Amino acid sequence: MKNLRGLLLVFLILSFGISDFPQAQDQQGFINLDCGLQANESPYTEPITKLTFTSDADFIKTGKSGKIQNVPGLDYIKPYTVLRYFPYGVRNCYTLSVIQDTNYLIVAMFTYGNYDDLNTHPKFDLHLGPNLWTTVDLQRKVNGTRAEIIHKPRSTSLQVCLVKTGTTTPLISALELRPLRNDTYVPQSGSLKKLFRVYLTDSKDTIRYPEDVHDRLWSPFFMPEWKLLRTSLLSVNASDNEYAIPGDVLVTAATPANVSSPLTISWNVETPDDLVYAYLHVTEIQSLKGNDSREFNIRAGQNVSYGPVSPEESEVYNLFNTSPVKCEGWICNLQLIRTPNSTLPPLLNALEAFITVEFPQTETHANDVVAIKSIETSYGLSRSSWQGDPCVPQQFLWDGLTCEYTNICLHHQESIPCTCDGHSDLSSSELTGLIVPEIQNLTQLKKLDLSNNNLTGGVPEFLAKMKSLLDINLSGNNLSGSVPQALLDKMKQGLKLNIQGNQNLCSSSSCHKRKSSIMLPVIVASLVSLAAIIAGVTLLLVCKKRRTSRGKVLGPSIETKRRRFTYAEVLAMTNNNERVLGKGGFGMVYHGYINGTEQVAVKLLSPSSSQGYKEFKTEVELLLRVYHTYLVSLVGYCDEKDHLALIYQYMSNGDLKQHLSGNSVMSWVDRLNIATDAALGLEYLHIGCKPLIVHRDVKSSNILLDDQFHAKLADFGLSRSFPIGDESHVSTLVAGTFGYLDHEYYRTNRLSEKSDVYSFGVVLLEIITNKPVIDHTRDMPHIAEWVKFMLTRGDINNIMDQKLQMVYDSGSAWKALELAMTCVNPSSLERPNMPHVVHELKECLIYENKRAGDIDTTRSIDINLSSGTDVNPKAR
């Protein structure tokens, strides 16, 4: 018998009841993708496991759908099962949202089924992020295979990539993720790749969900030289042991038929250097009589032993080695040996075996990945190579990126991820529109090339704030205006800036050359005079102090570049407050005109508003220093004795809440556009403003719509700026609207931008469901709790607004719903930031815009695929 090296089975845990186990009917955290299922197909419930499966189309942007044939010999597969195959590109990747540093059981299933009539079984590699997981060889496993690993993601995004290694075409049938307890299946390093998982029985049944709450697949295994023990009255169940071993697995066990012989199991490993972990699950299923006793030692080779073990009824013993073991040669041997004091032979109910897989290649920093993908979405880029990790491994570097690699980046350093700190080349990419602010999130970028596109608008000042940026090429676009002075100053410090070919764009030198124009001296003189006048007026405004009619100082006057109106002018523009638009906590809002043509909304302070001037001052000062397409613009203000007014641009379609509660039906794409607009406004407050601004009162009635149904955020009276520095929150008195208010902020008084994310999540749930935020007639009054409850049923159609009449892309709807539920997570640490929210909503829009007609696709999911390995255990 070959020996084992190292320490095996040296740790014993006697389990106790754990309260936080998922129940059998709870699929929370499960991801079930039917690969190749058409994007417009609704999620379905698999009839045997009752698991809800969805199309994989929302999680990957490449590949084609195919159907396997009813091939003889594939008895465990239903006919016409779909798959996704990848005829183009070397690396094609799924991107899945996960919880960072959480143990996941990851399962991928592969069946060829001659879907292409070529009878050519493929062979290819499977990667997790930038690292090799396993090789899928359907040339050897013609009946299909199942790859399984227990892995802890290092970020909130997980990429599962199929990599072409030869001439055959990679394919995949299903992809599944299940969260596990973090204190189970813990190797010293790396991840656990499954060799086999068996329960010892003469049954033919495979056990998985719902009997196993983690949906582990238990295959039956038994040998003629064993004796079968069976009980129908098992006193333990899955909730009684921390590994949640199903009761159906524990009701049978094997002992050696010869009571004097050991129970011996051996298995092959993939390579002689494999490091092995074994998990033995044991419980006594016989009622011992009189002086009967069962006691045994566990041995692995001549020099490794543990014991004695004396299992008891109602106790589940989970025995495993805490350090990996290297088997001698290709064979691992395990023996359970009866002690001299035992009257009964050893017993074993179930056994799992894994080998460790090291993932040495560190992923690119998550912030860089989010930034690049946001840029991709903003410009509608479609590059087949932009999948998986942007920088690593080097052979799959994304087109247009140059990453500088260090030893830290190329070796296993979990605390120091790689960064995209090289060159971003988006030249000649048919980019249109403005230079998007997401670029500034690539904080380590050294060179940016946006040349030879159709970019318009001005050169953004944020480029000057990117400290690492040394070379900017904006040539060959349609940019206009003047180059920001901050960029010109950085050119004196060595920054390279190329703006050639932008006819309407000028720097200080190019503008200077135009002084020969006939009117230029006159214009310059006029500008100088105007500047002097503005400076004088500004100085007066700064020095002047506002007093009430009683002579009491209320606070310093507000500096502004916008127009200050008298109360008489306010009455004139509103025709003596003739037309009421609405009413809020600040006061009444009236319709008005400036110069008889420009429509405005005038908000007058109510005398009964106790904090009116404070909020008035806050809102004016904030809107004076910020401007954005998706924020309601301040046209002017009135600050005259007891008369305070704010004059805004007029939003002719009112607020979002009115439209949701009205008789008209907003389409799904309109709702997504509105949500995206509002998210972009919040993103600007959180990312584009220094210091960042928290709105504090995000709600559907504060999202206003113009005549084109473009949305803008309004009402900044409660907003707060963070102090300059590294603070992640500020302590402040709680303010906001009941129902939209972040529970964590309410409980701790600690305000952060994640409080806005929570409120936005509630708004997104309103948009999706068209249900009241608070409804005491529901069992779950708050909308987030109600949706969470409804999700346990797995039927999105009862959650979506019935007015939509199911006219929406189901993948887009599911993605939006998952995003909303992530935003309202009770823990602010688990909520996404607004750039991520914007990115996800834009993807929802892409899916909805691609929505096609119904396609009749028969699909099923096989639950009896083989373990995908030839290393099944055998008795010796």
769 within some domain: yes
In angstroms, rounded to a whole number, what is the distance separating the alpha carbons of residues 711 and 709?
A: 6
Mean pLDDT computed over 641-657: 87
Can you give the pLDDT at residue 420? 47
- SS3 assignment, position 287: coil
Q: Shortest CA distance to 51 belongs to which of 194, 175, 159, 220?
A: 175
Structure confidence at residue 253 as a pLDDT band (50, 70, 90): very high
Give the residue from 586, 568, 585 showing the smallest Cα distance to 577: 568
Asked which of 156, 180, 204 is the last residue of a domain, the reply is: 180
How many whole angstroms separate alpha carbon 254 and alpha carbon 275? 26
pLDDT given at position 110? 93
pLDDT band of residue 727 (cuts 50, 70, 90) is very low
- β-bridge partners, 54: 33
- Asked if residues 335 and 264 have their Cβ atoms less than 8 Å apart, the reply is yes
Amino acid at 83: L
Three-state SS for 631-664 is ECCEEEEEEECCEEEEEEECCCCCEHHHHHHCCC
Given this model, what pLDDT does residue 303 score?
Answer: 60
Query: Are 158 and 35 within one domain?
Result: yes
338's tokens: 């009866």
pTM reported for the whole predicted model: 0.55
Establish if 603 belongs to a structural domain: yes
Which pLDDT score is estimated for 408?
40
Residues 215 and 326 placed together within one structural domain of the fold: yes
Torsion angles phi and psi, residue 259, rounded to 5 = -60, -20
Please indicate, yes or no, whether residues 422 and 503 belong to a single structural domain of this protein. Answer: yes
The pLDDT-based confidence of 394 (bands split at 50, 70, 90) is: low
Q: Which residue has the higher pLDDT, 742 or 79?
A: 742
179 pLDDT more than 50: yes
Looking at residue 686, its amino acid is H
CATH number of the structural domain spanning residue 575: 3.30.200.20
Residue 131 is assigned to a structural domain of this protein:
yes
Q: With residue 675 as reference, give the H or E element that holds it.
A: helix 668-683
Cα separations in angstroms, 236 against 246, 284, 316, 317, 727: 9, 10, 8, 11, 50
Q: Is the pLDDT of residue 506 over 70?
A: yes
Question: How confident is the model over 816-820, as a mean pLDDT?
Answer: 94
Residue 551 counted as domain residue:
no
The closest of 814, 821, 820 to 675, measured between CA atoms, is 820
Show which of 154, 180, 206 is a domain's final residue. Answer: 180
- Lowest mean pLDDT segment, chosen from 10-19, 423-432, 454-463, 486-495: 10-19
| CA 828/CA 833 separation, integer angstroms | 10
CATH code (residue 148): 2.60.120
pLDDT of residue 398: 74
Residue 679 and residue 569 in one domain: no
Q: What is the pLDDT of residue 543?
A: 34
Contacts 24+ apart (CB under 8 A), 370-376: 370/441, 370/835, 370/836, 370/839, 371/438, 371/439, 371/441, 371/442, 371/835, 372/398, 372/401, 372/420, 372/442, 373/839, 374/436, 374/438, 374/441, 374/835, 374/838, 374/839, 375/426, 375/436, 375/438, 375/439
- Verify that 110 and 159 share a domain, yes or no: yes
User: What pLDDT band is residue 426 in, cutting at 50, 70 and 90?
Assistant: confident
Let me know whether 351 and 256 are in one domain.
yes
pLDDT tens, 740-791?
A: 999 888 888 888 899 999 999 999 999 999 999 999 888 889 999 999 988 8
3 state DSSP class of 779? coil
Would you call 680 helix, strand, or coil by DSSP? helix
Measured CA to CA, the distance from residue 333 to residue 355 in angstroms comes to: 15
pLDDT at 373: 74
Query: What's the pLDDT score for residue 385?
Result: 66
- Residue 506 is given by DSSP the state E
Using CA atoms in the order 355, 389, 136, 29, what is the torsion angle rounded to 10 degrees?
A: 70
Using a pLDDT cut of 70, give the percent of the chain over it: 78
Q: Which of 697, 715, 801, 862 is catalytic?
A: 697
- Per-residue CA distances from 114 to 60, 70, 89, 230, 302 (Å): 23, 9, 21, 42, 48
Whether 647 contacts 565, CB under 8 Å: yes
Residue 242: per-residue pLDDT: 84
Give the count of beta carbons closer than 10 Å to the beta carbon of residue 748: 13
- In a shared domain, residues 84 and 109: yes
Cβ-contact 149, 133 below 8 angstroms: yes
Q: Nearest to residue 730, comparing CAs of 712, 714, 754, 710? A: 754
CB count within 10 Å of CB 493 equals 7
- Range with top average pLDDT, 433-447, 627-641, 658-672: 658-672
Burial of 705 (0-12, 13-18, 19+ CB in 10 A): buried
In this prediction, residues 317-337 reach a mean pLDDT of 88
Query: Which region among 18-22, 302-306, 716-720, 735-739 has the lowest average model confidence (pLDDT)?
Result: 18-22
pLDDT for residue 643: 85
DSSP code for 203: -
Residue pair 591/654 in contact (Cβ under 8 Å)? The answer is: no
Choose from 545-554, 717-726, 787-796, 840-849 the range with maximum mean pLDDT: 840-849
Is the distance from CB of 114 to CB of 67 less than 8 angstroms? no
- In this structure, which amino acid lies at residue 678? A
Average pLDDT over every residue of 138-165? 91
CATH code of the domain covering residue 213: 2.60.120.430
Same domain flag for 207 and 355: yes
C-beta atoms surrounding 5 within 10 Å? 14
226 vs 613: which has the higher pLDDT: 226
Distance between CA 742 and CA 695 in Å, rounded?
12
Which tokens belong to 743? 């529970």
Q: Looking at the predicted structure, is the pLDDT value of residue 509 above 70?
A: no
- Distance from C-alpha of 678 to C-alpha of 769, rounded to nearest angstrom: 18
Q: Which long-range contacts (CB under 8 A, 24 or more apart) does 97-100 make?
A: 97/156, 97/157, 97/158, 97/818, 97/822, 98/153, 98/156, 98/157, 98/158, 98/177, 99/29, 99/153, 99/156, 99/179, 99/830, 100/153, 100/154, 100/155, 100/156
Average pLDDT score over residue span 352-359:
94
Structural domain range at position 620? 558-649
pLDDT at 390 exceeding the cut of 50: yes
Q: What is the mean pLDDT of the chain?
A: 79
715 belongs to the catalytic site: no
Q: Count structural domains, the chain.
A: 5
Beta bridge partners of 743: none
Q: Is the residue at 858 inside a domain?
A: no
Q: Flag whether 285 is in a domain.
A: yes
Q: Do 569 and 497 share a domain, yes or no?
A: no
Asked which of 649, 680, 702 is the last residue of a domain, the reply is: 649
Is the per-residue pLDDT at 866 higher than 70?
no
**Radius of gyration for the chain, computed over Cα atoms and rounded to the nearest angstrom:** 33
- pLDDT, position 7: 30
Q: Is the pLDDT confidence value at 51 over 60? A: yes
Task: Count CB neighbours of 9 within 10 A.
Answer: 25
Is the N-terminal amide bond of 47 cis, ω within 30° of 0? Answer: no
Pair 66, 200 in one domain: no
Give yes or no for residue 236 having a pLDDT over 90. Answer: no
Residue 296: helix, strand or coil by DSSP? strand
Same-domain check for residues 832 and 811: yes
* Position 642 in a domain: yes
Q: Evaluate whether 755 touches 718 at the Cβ level (below 8 Å).
A: no
Q: For residue 477, what is the domain's CATH number? A: 3.80.10.10
Q: Please report whether residue 396 resides in a domain.
A: yes
Task: Note whether 287 and 334 are same-domain residues.
Answer: yes
- Of all residues in the chain, the percent with pLDDT exceeding 90 is 38
Report pLDDT digits (tens) over 566-591: 889 999 999 988 898 877 666 788 99
Provide the pLDDT confidence category of residue 383 given band limits of 50, 70 and 90. low
Q: pLDDT at residue 341 above 70?
A: yes
Handedness of CA 327, 329, 334, 337 (dihedral sign): negative
Which pLDDT value is given to residue 379? 77
Residue spans of alpha helices (H) in 120-201 = none
The verdict on whether residue 583 carries a ligand-binding annotation is no
Q: Between the CA of residue 257 and those of 225, 260, 261, 800, 872, what are the distances in Å?
A: 6, 9, 8, 60, 21
pLDDT for residue 427? 77
CB atoms within 10 A of CB 261: 15
Q: What is the pLDDT of residue 492?
A: 86
Question: What pLDDT score does 715 carry?
Answer: 82
